[in-house]
Amino acid sequence: MKAITIDGISKKYGKTQALDQINLEVEEGALFGLIGPDGAGKTTLFRILTTLLLADTGQASVTGLDVVKDYKEIRKTIGYMPGRFSLYQDLTVEENLNFFATIFGTTIEENYDLVRDIYVQIEPFKNRRAGKLSGGMKQKLALSCALIHKPTVLFLDEPTTGVDVVSRQEFWEMLRKLKEKGITILVSTPYMDEASLCDRIALIQKGQLLSIDSPTNIIQQFSKPLYAVKTNLLHQLLGDLRTFPLTDTVFPFGEYLHLTTKQQLEEDQLTIFLQNKGHQKIQLHPTKATIEDCFMELMTN
């Protein structure tokens, strides 16, 4: 049985097509990433799967339960961490966790094993009001609250947005451990570099899935020749490369520019082209695509 099945789900808000014919399957025990910018439809899809919204058309099920018909059963078995911090700011860390344990009919003690690794990090502050926690700690508390009833599927909507690199890295470490415990995790993120940490990913943009596969497969499917280019005149390089006849796209990419071309490049040809434009210290080499390159390629298709 699949943990999540989505079959032809569409949703419209007024004139905006938030989701357009989404089809997706998530294997049991997988760490699945839904990757796309704000407004792509990630939250809408999460809300449909967590039984908070009704789709206009299509069907979806979570652990074999229909999201419309069996919403009561689903609510007992899933864990959900919404996009913005949604705990009671005026309750303490412990009171929050206790509350969520109780409304799911369990206790902290009963499922402590599952949350221990995460909760010990915030336990020293258990008498602090949630509103006074740092971003990273809030995130850990929210995850603990989503886990406290031992869900079989965990929905995490942009848990790492606005969080610094260190906290993000720690968070993904926690997810990896949860996955080892057999929990299926669906996580959404706008950060493309987090894609490689998932077993499988779906790239989403404007309500449509651009691609669904493992990160490595998606990268392998990148079809165009890709080069990293760098010179002493980085700002100018962008414009100059766009006038190069074989250029398809040019994008800044970290310290390099990523250049895709319409056909394989004679590297010397480009070097001479750039030298004529006054560039020095030219570095040019073929490079491996990242998920972000793939995303941009799929966006422009």
Smallest gap from residue 51 Cβ to another protein (A): 7
Q: Taking contact as CB under 8 A, which single stretch among the options 19-27, 108-116, 163-171, 259-267 is the one that binds another protein?
A: 163-171
Residue 153 in the binding site for another protein (CB under 8 A) = no
* DSSP label at residue 301: -
Instruction: Write the CB contacts of 111 (distance below 8 Å, at least 6 apart in sequence).
Output: 101, 147, 148, 149, 150
C-alpha 301/C-alpha 289 separation (Å) is 16
100, 154 Cβ separation under 8 angstroms:
no
Nearest to 258 by CA among 221, 217, 288: 288
Smallest gap from residue 269 Cβ to another protein (A): 25
Tokens of 133: 């926690």
What is the x/- site pattern for another protein, positions 113-152, by CB under 8 A? --------------------xxxxx-------x-------
257-286 positions binding another protein, by CB under 8 A: none
Candidate residues 10, 21, 59, 161; the one interacting with another protein per rule CB under 8 A: 161
Q: How many residues bind another protein (CB under 8 A)?
A: 66
Residue 50 in the binding site for another protein (CB under 8 A) = yes
Dihedral sign for Cα 57, 67, 157, 93, please.
positive
Q: Taking contact as CB under 8 A, which single stretch among the options 26-34, 55-63, 189-197, 275-283 is the one that binds another protein?
A: 189-197
C-alpha 292/C-alpha 36 separation (Å) is 10
Q: Quickly list H helices, the chain.
A: 42-49, 71-77, 93-103, 112-122, 135-147, 165-180, 215-220, 234-242, 267-276, 291-300
Which spans of this chain sit near another protein (rule: CB under 8 A)? 36-40, 47, 50-54, 71-72, 75-76, 78, 80, 82-91, 95, 98-100, 102-105, 133-137, 145, 161-167, 169, 190-193, 205, 235, 238, 251-255, 292, 295-296, 299-300
